[in-house]
C-alpha cells in the first residue's frame, strides 16, 4: 500500500532547519524509504527564515503531497511568507514551541491539531543542544524511523564538526524522541519497502552534472547563477577525477564562447546557467549552430521574466530555448522529466550534440535542480558519446561537406591537411564565407536536415497508458501529472500520459502516433504565457481537440490541484 507522509520544519536566524531536514531525509533513505526534500527561504543570505519540506514514502516519490501532515516550527518569524507553500488540513499536526509566540492565524485556519512542545527549553537540557536537533528526534519518532538510521545520518552530517557537536546533537535528538512518545498522532511511515533496486540520494543539479560526465563532458566554463550554481559546484571536483576541468568565466558571454572554443578543439564541453544567462548566450548559441560546433547548455529554469524569482521554479524559458537565436537556427532542446531522469537526459544531450554537431539546450528547473530525492538507480548508465572527426588528409578537406546525412567530418585542430576556419558567416562546403543563394540554401538544409532526419528512437518521449484522454506535460510537471493520473486511474478514469523528452526538433508525426486513438488532449505547464501549449499548436499534428491548463510559478503544481483540473476537463 502506497504511503506518503509530508513533513515541514520551519525556523529562522540560523536555527538550522535545512540541516535538520537533510538529516531526516538521510535517515529515511538509510531505512529504505524514498522521498523528496525541498526548501524555501527568505531573501537573506544567512539568518533568514527557512522551511524544510519533506515528502517521505515507501514508494518512489513523483510529486509532493497535497498537504503537510506535520508542521514543526522552531519559531514563527515571517513564517506566513511560507503559508501558501505549507498547506495544512484538519488532519495535520502543528507542533509549536509555546515560548516562541503565537501560531499565525493563516495556519490555524486549516483546523490542524496543535501540540505544544518547548523545543528550546528542551535543547537547553543538553550542553550546546540545539532546538533543530530536538526536532530531528521528534519528527523521526513520530515517523517511526529507527534510532540507528537517525544516528547514521547525524554522524554523516556532523562528523566534520567534531565529537562535541555529535554528542550534543545526539542528546538533543533523544529528548525529542522522548517527546514524540507523548504525542497521540498517527503518522508513522510503517515498514520500509523490500529493496530490489539499488537507490541513490541526490538532487537534480547533481544528477545533471553526473549525466553530463557520463555523456563525456570534460570541459566546463560557467558563471554562477541561481539555481544552477550547484551543477557547477558538483562538477568542478568530479571533472578533475576524470581528467577534465571547470573554469569560472567572467560572464555568460565568455562562458558560452569558451566552451565553443574548447569544443572546436575537440573536447565535449558544457555550461550551466538559468534564464538570464541563457538570454545572454543566445547570440553565441547561434554562432555554434552556424559553425556546427557541439556544446551543451543547461538552463535550470527559474521564475521569469528578467531577474524574476530566482529561487523558485517555472517553465517559462521554453520560448527562448526553442526560438532564441536569431535567423533560422535549428538546434536541439531536451528536458529531463524528473530528478533521476536528469542523468539520462543530460547524457543523451551530450550524445546528440556530439553526434549531430549541434548545440543542445537542456531545460531543467529549480524544482528538479534543488530538490534532493531518494530515487531508484537506473538499470543502465549512459556511456560516452562520439563525434565524427577526420583523419589527416591530402585531398581537399571540406568541413561542411553536403551529403545525405548532413553530418560532415569535424577535423580536430592538429590534424594535418584539414585546416579550416569555423565561421558564423554563411559559408560554402569548404568553410569559405559565402553569400551565394546555393550555399545558403545548402547549408541551411544541412543544418536543419541533420537533426530532422536523425533517428532519435523511443527516448523522444515517455508514453504511459493507452487511455483515450491524453495529458501532455514536460519537465518537473511530469511527475506531478503522473501522481495525479495514478489517483484518477484508481477512480476509473483511463488516461494516457505523454512526456516529451525531446522538445526540438519538434516530432509532429511521432506525437500524432502517440495520440492515436485519443479523443482529447490536455497540456499542463507552469507558465503564465502557456508557452508549451502554443508550441504544440504551432508545430505538432494534434488531430484531436487540445485544451490546456497553465499557470505561472512560484508555487509548484500539487497533485490534488491537477487531479481536479484533469477531472473537470475529462467531464467537460
Partner 1 sequence: MNNIPATDQAYGPRDYKSSVKPVWCPGCGDYTVLSSITKALAALALDPENVAVISGIGCSSRIPAYLNTYGFHGVHGRALALATGLKLSRPDLNVLVTGGDGDGFSIGGNHFLHACRRNVDLTYIVMDNRVYGMTKGQPSPTTEPDWDSALAPGGTGLRPFNPLVIALASGANFIARGFSGDPNGTAKLIVDAIRSPGFSFVEVLSPCVTFRGDQRGWKQMVRPAPVDPTEDIGRAARRLMTDDGMNLGVLYQGHREPYVLENNPVYIDAAQLEDQFKL
Segment contacting partner 1 by CB under 8 A, of 5-13, 255-263, 296-304, 351-359: 255-263
Q: By CB under 8 A, is residue 386 in contact with partner 1?
A: no
Q: Which is nearer to partner 1, 210 or 454 (CB)?
A: 210
Q: Which is nearer to partner 1, 218 or 550 (CB)?
A: 218
Segment contacting partner 1 by CB under 8 A, of 116-124, 195-203, 476-484, 496-504: 195-203
Q: How far is the CB of 127 from partner 1 (least distance, A)?
A: 32
Q: By CB under 8 A, is residue 175 in contact with partner 1?
A: no
Can you tell me the distance from the alpha carbon of 336 to that of 111, in angstroms, rounded to the nearest whole number?
38
Q: By CB under 8 A, is residue 247 in contact with partner 1?
A: yes
Instruction: Pick the binder of partner 1 from 86, 221, 279, 334 (CB under 8 A).
Output: 221
Alpha-helical (H) ranges within 45-203 are 105-108, 119-123, 131-143, 147-158, 163-181
Q: By CB under 8 A, is residue 61 in contact with partner 1?
A: no
Say if CB 370 and CB 227 are below 8 A apart. yes
Q: By CB under 8 A, is residue 198 in contact with partner 1?
A: yes
Q: By CB under 8 A, is residue 400 in contact with partner 1?
A: no
Q: Strand 50-57 to strand 113-116: parallel, antiparallel, or no bridges (unpaired)?
A: unpaired
Question: Site map for partner 1, 103-122, x if CB under 8 A?
Answer: --------------------
Say if CB 4 and CB 59 are below 8 A apart. yes
Q: Which is nearer to partner 1, 167 or 415 (CB)?
A: 415
Say if CB 371 and CB 204 are below 8 A apart. yes
Query: What letter does residue 100 receive in the DSSP assignment?
Result: G
Exposed, middle or buried: residue 386 (CB in 10 Å: 0-12, 13-18, 19+)?
Answer: exposed
Q: Which of residues 319-378 bind partner 1 (CB under 8 A)?
A: 374, 377
Can you tell me the distance from the alpha carbon of 116 to that of 95, in angstroms, rounded to the nearest whole number?
6
- DSSP reduced 3-state for 175: helix
Can you tell me the distance from the alpha carbon of 95 to that of 92, in angstroms, rounded to the nearest whole number?
10
Q: Which is nearer to partner 1, 264 or 549 (CB)?
A: 264
Q: By CB under 8 A, is residue 37 in contact with partner 1?
A: no
Q: How far is the CB of 238 from partner 1 (least distance, A)?
A: 6
Say if CB 20 and CB 8 are below 8 A apart. no
User: For the stretch 306-339, what's the b/e string if a residue is b when 16 or more beta carbons lie within 10 angstroms of its beta carbon?
Assistant: eebebbbbbbbbbebbbebbeeebbbbbbbbbbb
Segment contacting partner 1 by CB under 8 A, of 60-68, 198-206, 302-310, 446-454: 198-206
Q: Which of residues 440-479 bind partner 1 (CB under 8 A)?
A: none
Segment contacting partner 1 by CB under 8 A, of 13-21, 72-80, 127-135, 411-419: 411-419
Of 171, 132, 131, the closest CA to residue 151 belongs to 171
Say if CB 29 and CB 376 are below 8 A apart. no
Of 122, 130, 81, the closest CA to residue 98 belongs to 122
Q: By CB under 8 A, is residue 423 in contact with partner 1?
A: yes
Number of residues binding to partner 1, judged by CB under 8 A: 66
Q: Which is nearer to partner 1, 50 or 297 (CB)?
A: 297
Of 196, 184, 205, 201, the closest CA to residue 56 belongs to 201
Segment contacting partner 1 by CB under 8 A, of 123-131, 330-338, 417-425, 549-557: 417-425
Q: Which of residues 288-317 bind partner 1 (CB under 8 A)?
A: 291
Segment contacting partner 1 by CB under 8 A, of 2-10, 41-49, 218-226, 464-472: 218-226
Q: By CB under 8 A, is residue 238 in contact with partner 1?
A: yes
Q: Which is nearer to partner 1, 59 or 516 (CB)?
A: 59
Say if CB 236 and CB 222 are below 8 A apart. no
Phi, psi torsion values for 5, nearest 5 degrees: -125, 130
Q: By CB under 8 A, is residue 78 in contact with partner 1?
A: no
Per the DSSP assignment, residues forming a β-bridge with 96 are 73, 116
Q: Would you tell me which residues interact with partner 1 (CB under 8 A)?
A: 29-30, 198-202, 206, 210, 213-214, 216, 218-219, 221, 238, 240-245, 247, 249-251, 253-255, 257-267, 269, 283-284, 286-287, 291, 374, 377, 381, 383-384, 413-425, 432-433
Amino acid at each position: 500500500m502506497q504511503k506518503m507522509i509530508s513533513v515541514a520544519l520551519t525556523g529562522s536566524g540560523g536555527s538550522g532547519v535545512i540541516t535538520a531536514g537533510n538529516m531526516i531525509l538521510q535517515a529515511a533513505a538509510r531505512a529504505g524509504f524514498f522521498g523528496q526534500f525541498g526548501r524555501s527561504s527568505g531573501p537573506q543570505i544567512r539568518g533568514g527564515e527557512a522551511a524544510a519540506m519533506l515528502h517521505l514514502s515507501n514508494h518512489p516519490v513523483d510529486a509532493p503531497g497535497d498537504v503537510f501532515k506535520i508542521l514543526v516550527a522552531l519559531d514563527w518569524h515571517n513564517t506566513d511568507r511560507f503559508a501558501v507553500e505549507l498547506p495544512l488540513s484538519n488532519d495535520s499536526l502543528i507542533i509549536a514551541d509555546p515560548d516562541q509566540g503565537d501560531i499565525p492565524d493563516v495556519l490555524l485556519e486549516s483546523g490542524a491539531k496543535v501540540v505544544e512542545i518547548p523545543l528550546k527549553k528542551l535543547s537547553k537540557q543538553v550542553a550546546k543542544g540545539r532546538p533543530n536537533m530536538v526536532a530531528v528526534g521528534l519528527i523521526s519518532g513520530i515517523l517511526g524511523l529507527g534510532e540507528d538510521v537517525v544516528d547514521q545520518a547525524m554522524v554523516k552530517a556532523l562528523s566534520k564538526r567534531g565529537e562535541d557537536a555529535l554528542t550534543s546533537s545526539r542528546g538533543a535528538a533523544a529528548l525529542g524522541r522522548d517527546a514524540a512518545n507523548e504525542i497521540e498522532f498517527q503518522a508513522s511511515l510503517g515498514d520500509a519497502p523490500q529493496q530490489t533496486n539499488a537507490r541513490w540520494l541526490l538532487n537534480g543539479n547533481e544528477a545533471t552534472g553526473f549525466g553530463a560526465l557520463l555523456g563525456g563532458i570534460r570541459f566546463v566554463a560557467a558563471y554562477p547563477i541561481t539555481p544552477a550554481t550547484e551543477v557547477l559546484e558538483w562538477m568542478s571536483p568530479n571533472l578533475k577525477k576524470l581528467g577534465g576541468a571547470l573554469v569560472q568565466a567572467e560572464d555568460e558571454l565568455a562562458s558560452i564562447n569558451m566552451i565553443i572554443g574548447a569544443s572546436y578543439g575537440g573536447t565535449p564541453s558544457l555550461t550551466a546557467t538559468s534564464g538570464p544567462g541563457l538570454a545572454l548566450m543566445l547570440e553565441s548559441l547561434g554562432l555554434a549552430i552556424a559553425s556546427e560546433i557541439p556544446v551543451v547548455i543547461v538552463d535550470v529554469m527559474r521564475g521569469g521574466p528578467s531577474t524574476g524569482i530566482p529561487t523558485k521554479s517555472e517553465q517559462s524559458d521554453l520560448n527562448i530555448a526553442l526560438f532564441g537565436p536569431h535567423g533560422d537556427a535549428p538546434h536541439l532542446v531536451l528536458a529531463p522529466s524528473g530528478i533521476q531522469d536528469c542523468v539520462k537526459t543530460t547524457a543523451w544531450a551530450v550524445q546528440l550534440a556530439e553526434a549531430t554537431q549541434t548545440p543542445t539546450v537542456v531545460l531543467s528547473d529549480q524544482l528538479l535542480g534543488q530538490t534532493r530525492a531518494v530515487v531508484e538507480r537506473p538499470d543502465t548508465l549512459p556511456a560516452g558519446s562520439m563525434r565524427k572527426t577526420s583523419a589527416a588528409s591530402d585531398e581537399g578537406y571540406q568541413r561542411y561537406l553536403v551529403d545525405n546525412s548532413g553530418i560532415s567530418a569535424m577535423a580536430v585542430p592538429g590534424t594535418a591537411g584539414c585546416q579550416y576556419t569555423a565561421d558564423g558567416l554563411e559559408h560554402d562546403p569548404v568553410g569559405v564565407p559565402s553569400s551565394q543563394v546555393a550555399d545558403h540554401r545548402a547549408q541551411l538544409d544541412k543544418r536543419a536536415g541533420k537533426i530532422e532526419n536523425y533517428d532519435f528512437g523511443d527516448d523522444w518521449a515517455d508514453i504511459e497508458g493507452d487511455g483515450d484522454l491524453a495529458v501532455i506535460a514536460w519537465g518537473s510537471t511530469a511527475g506531478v501529472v503522473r501522481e495525479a493520473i495514478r489517483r484518477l486511474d484508481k477512480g476509473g478514469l483511463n488516461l494516457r500520459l505523454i512526456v516529451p523528452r525531446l522538445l526540438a526538433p519538434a516530432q509532429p508525426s511521432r506525437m500524432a502516433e502517440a495520440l492515436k486513438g485519443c479523443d482529447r488532449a490536455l497540456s499542463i505547464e507552469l507558465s503564465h504565457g502557456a508557452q508549451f501549449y502554443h508550441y504544440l499548436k504551432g508545430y505538432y499534428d494534434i488531430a484531436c481537440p487540445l485544451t490546456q491548463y497553465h499557470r505561472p510559478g512560484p508555487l509548484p503544481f500539487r497533485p490534488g490541484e491537477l487531479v481536479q483540473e484533469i477531472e473537470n476537463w475529462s467531464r467537460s
